[in-house]
Amino acid sequence: EIVLTQSPGTLSLSPGERATLSCRASQSVTNNYLAWYQQKPGQAPRLLIYGTSSRATGIPDRFSGSGSGTDFTLTVSRLEPEDFAVYYCQHYGNSPPYTFGQGTKLEIK
């Protein structure tokens, strides 16, 4: 089972700045089956990125995903006030189990 480690635990930035969130896997992720979610307090998670770099429907292009092997990155090019939230990466193989990272909190500086 792949273990995902996200860093940093908390990222403090200002609106307009660029955010770079990391997700490292304990073993190589096959087929780039890596997704990213955004979660705001009291809400369900929202799918942002799947397949490492494909944006889900309706996701602004300021969100981008990249990476391969064991190292993956979510980048938010210019932070908007609504982007401050918790972000999770997730590995999804051809069948369960599915694993999530522990999350990165993106907070306003």
Interface residues toward another protein, by CB under 8 A: 33, 35, 37, 39, 44-47, 50, 56-57, 88, 90, 92-103
Residue 100 C-beta: closest distance to another protein, Å: 4
Cis-peptide, bond into residue 45, ω within 30° of zero: no
Nearest-CA neighbor of 4 among 34, 30, 32? Answer: 34
CA distance 98 to 91: 6
Residue 72 C-beta: closest distance to another protein, Å: 13
Residue with tokens 């780039």: 32
Structure tokens at 98: 């599915």
Residue 66 C-beta: closest distance to another protein, Å: 17
Task: Tell me whether residue 1 or residue 61 sits nearer to another protein (CB atom).
Answer: 1
Task: Tell me whether residue 3 or residue 78 sits nearer to another protein (CB atom).
Answer: 3
